[in-house]
Amino acid sequence: MSSLDMSKFEKKIIVRNIRYEDIDDIIQLSKICFPNMEAWTRQHLISHIEVFPEGQFCVEVEGEIIGTCSSLLINFDEYDDQHTWDEITDEGYITNHDPEGYNLYGIEVAVHPDYRRMKIGRRLYEARKELAREYNLKSIIIGGRIPNFRKYSEDMTPREYVDAVMNHHIYDPVLTFQVMNGFTLKRINARYLTDDRASMAYATLMEWNNVDYRPTTKRHFKTSFPVRICAIQYMMKKIDSFDDFAQQCEYYADVGASYASDFVVFPEIFTTQLLSFIEEKSPSQAIRRLTDFTEDYINLFTELAIKYNVNIIGGSHFVEEEGEIYNIAYLFRRDGTIEKQYKVHITPNERKFWGITGGDKVEVFDTDCGKIAIQICYDVEFPELARIATEKGANIIFSPFCTDDRQGYLRVRYCAQARAVENQIYVAITGTVGNISDVENMDIQYAQSGIFTPSDFTFARDGIVGETSPNIETVLVGDVDLEVLRRSRKSGNVTQWKDRRKDLYSIQHRC
C-alpha cells in the first residue's frame, strides 16, 4: 500500500524556549515589529536566557522565528501600583527575576506582520499559561500597550478609550487581543514606556488568574487535564464549487476556535458534498473524480488547523493510492503536522457502490492533548480495534460517521458507548445530516452527534458529556478530563481495563 506524500503539505509550527543562536533573528524581528521603539540588544537577550530561560518563548515556522515573548517571575505586591516598564524589568535585563515569585510578568510579545491572524500571539500566551500552571503561580500580569490610543487622544481620556475598547466600540490590536485571551483590567499606568509614542506612554495593567493555583509553599502539579472537543454535525447540501465547501469548513473551524476547543471533529466522507457539482451519475466513477480534490482538501485543513490554532479531525475523504480507493481520516495538528488513519472495515454498501479497499493498521497519535485514535464509523462497531488503540495508549477515540437511517446511526452510537465503558476511555462521534438529492448513494443522512464517557460516579450521570439534537446542522462542545480518566482506571467503582483476564484471553494483532 503506497501513501500520499504528506511532507509537501506539512507546515511545522514549533513553540519552544529561545536559544543563544536565536538572538540575531529576535533582534531583527523586534525591529520589524516595533520600528519606532528601541529594539532588544544582544545583552538583553543573553540576560533573559541566563536568568530565566523557561520564561522566554518563540514560535518557529520552517526554521524562521516569527514570534517571541519574554517574561520573568516576581512577587507583584512588592512593586508600586504605578510602576514603569524599566522598574518591573530592571531596564529590560530581568535581573530582578525572583525564582520564588508567585506572578509571571510578561514584558513583550512580538509577532511578524506577515504572520498575524494565524493565532501566533495566542500560542505564545498559551505557552505562558502552561508555564504558570506548571509552576503553580497565582497569575500572569502584563503591562499592555494601547497603540491605537494616539488616534483618539484628542477626544478621549485613556480611561474612556480603554472602556470603549473593552465594550467593543473600538478595536485595539493589543488590548482587544488580551481581553479575548482571558485577561482582566487592573488599572491604567501613565509613563509606563516612554518611547511608546503610539500609546502616549500609557499602558493597561492586565491579569490572568490561574484557577489551578494552590496557596502553599509546596508546588503541585495540575490536578486536572481538561480537553475541549467541538463536534461538527455537518449539513450536506448542494454547493457550486470547492470554494463553497471551503467557506463552510472554515466557518466551523472558526466556531470551534471561538470556544477554545482543542479538537474540532468533522464527519465521515463529508467531502462527498463536492459531488453535488460534479456531473457524474455512476457512483464508482464519481468517487474516483472526488479523489482529484485530495490535495485541495489537505491544503485547506492544514491551513485551517494552523490559522485557528486547533487540532482538526478532518472527517474522512476518499483517496486513490496505486489504483485503489481508501476511506482515510486525517488528523491535522495545530502545529501544521498531519497523520492519517485508513478505515479498516469496509461496509457492504461501500464495497458495492464505490469499490473501497480497507486499511490494515490501527494508529494511535500523539497530540498536545494526549494520545488519540480515529475509528471511522463501521470500525467502532468492532470492539477489537478500540481495545488495540487503548493498549497503545489512546485516551480518546474519535469516530466520524455517515449513516443514512436511524438504525445505522444507533449501531454507531451504541457501539461507541460500549467502547467507552469497556475500555474506560472517551469516545466522540459526529455525523452528517441533510440531503443531496442528486448524488447517488449519498442522498439522505441521519445523525445525532455525541461525546461519551465511562459509566461511573466521577463522570456525567448517563455517561454522556453532551449530544446534539438529531438531524439539524449544529455543533456540540464538551469537555473531557484526562486526569479524571486516569484516576477512574486506577480506583473507580469498576475497573474494567485493569480487571481484564489476560490469563484467559488476549487480542493478537499485526497492526
Q: Which residues are catalytically annotated?
A: 268, 343, 377
Triad 177, 334, 138: Cα angle to 5°: 50
E strands, 217-323, in order: 226-236, 263-265, 311-313, 317-321
The answer to whether the Cα torsion of 108, 109, 111, 113 is positive or negative is: negative
Query: How many of the other CB atoms lie within 10 Å of CB of 381?
Result: 20
Q: Round to whole Å and give the CA distance between 367 and 398.
A: 13
Q: Is 307 exposed, middle or buried (0-12, 13-18, 19+ CB in 10 A)?
A: middle
C-alpha cell at 49: 536566557
Q: Are 71 and 28 in contact, with CB atoms under 8 Å apart?
A: no
- Which residue, chain included where needed, has cell 530565566? 52
User: What crossing angle do the helices spanning 42-51 and 23-33 adopt, rounded to 10°?
Assistant: 120
Q: Which residues contact 413 (CB under 8 A, 6 or more apart)?
A: 429, 448, 450
Expressed in percent and rounded to 5, the helix, strand and coil fractions of the chain are 35, 25, 40
